[in-house]
Amino acid sequence: MEWVRGDVLGHGSFGSVHLAIPRKFSSQFPSLMAVKSSADGYSITLKNEKEILDKVGFCPQIVRCFGDDYSVENGDRVYNLLLEYASKGSLADQVKKNNGHLQESDVRRYTRSLIKGLQHIHAKGFVHCDIKLQNVLVFDEDEVKIADFGLAKKSGDEQSRCECRGTPLYMSPESVNDNEYESPCDIWALGCAVVEMMTGKPAWNHKQESNLFNLLIRIGVGDELPIIPGELSEEGKDFLMKCFVKDPKKRWTAEMLLNHPFVCVADGGDGNEFVRKKGSEEISTSPRSPFSFPEWKSVQSSATTSISENSKFDSLLTSGDCLMDRIRLLACDEKPSWSDSESWISVR
């Protein structure tokens, strides 16, 4: 495909980003794209991004790749990677435009999309390794998609002990301590992104001029956790606690988080807007009567168990039937007595 390089959109460690305009109309390509370009000798990151995107395949929550090519500019051979163009920039840009923070209803919606993207990436056997607001792009319909796969890797692949991936403020304890980059590190970074969407500030209280080594010590050693915003709902705080588990084996997965109330309920302002699935399609509805609630499938249970307040969310969310499990928590074994007719009231 022939294309023309347009205005500069930004710069990165890999090179530059420009608008790309196809020379001829084609139904296979959009009228505007973004092209990442780098001198061929320094294009290993972009080539890794192309390879990962090809293997991960299509997902509505992941930026699409339209191919790559080479060009010669100012006598140098340049590698070009053609991608979807996001007209609204990154989530970091949106936070700045909205007085340094987003509404919780928007944070819930964006977070759900990010989890879906991560679930797809992890299911395909890959780890993004650099989830942060700057790497999440916002499109015309206010959709968000995960981008920048230059540091992504195949899950399980060993790497040099000297190799470091990602952004320090988003790094997980196991990445700092053991140089381990597997799917749980993306979940930790997701939690950091949620904090930043809510507050406009990094999850760790760390000034740019401060010693980076001290930050890594705080992340990797001891019991200190990232800041959990006080203005966040109880569901949001619990969601973050599932992301900020020091032990990666106990940290919740993307699949588990997708059933958490923080994202399986899209708050429409009054808390009554539910998100449910019908086949592969998601439907948002506001119940107008007791009979218009989503049709959740029940799970058979041989016994009623008592659940402590601390483990309430954990047991509630291990299945996708959030609503029915919530009702079970309120149910008891005592049956009503219908024999006392004196307390009955006649109605017409």
| Per-residue model confidence as pLDDT tens for the chain (348 residues) | 789 999 999 887 778 999 999 988 877 888 999 999 999 999 999 999 999 999 999 999 999 999 999 999 989 999 999 999 999 999 999 999 999 999 999 999 999 999 999 999 999 999 999 999 999 999 988 999 999 999 999 998 876 555 678 899 999 999 999 999 999 999 999 999 999 999 999 999 887 767 888 899 999 998 899 999 999 999 999 999 999 999 999 999 999 999 999 998 544 443 344 444 433 444 444 444 454 444 444 444 444 444 344 444 444 444 444 555 544 554 555 555 545 555 555 555
Tokens 């952004």 found at = 167
| Torsional sign, CA 66, 136, 319, 281 | negative
CB atoms near residue 197 (< 10 Å): 26
Query: What is the spatial order of strands in the sheet that 15-22 belongs to?
Result: 3-12, 15-22, 33-39, 76-84, 65-73
Six-digit token pair at 39? 């001198």
Q: What is the DSSP letter of 170?
A: G
- Spell 103-119 as b/e; 16+ CB within 10 A means b: ebebbbbbbbbbbbbbb
Residue spans of beta strands (DSSP E) within 74-165: 76-84, 126-127, 136-138, 144-146, 153-154
- The catalytic residues are 130
- Spell 163-189 as b/e; 16+ CB within 10 A means b: eebbbbbbbbbbbbeeeebbbbbbbbb
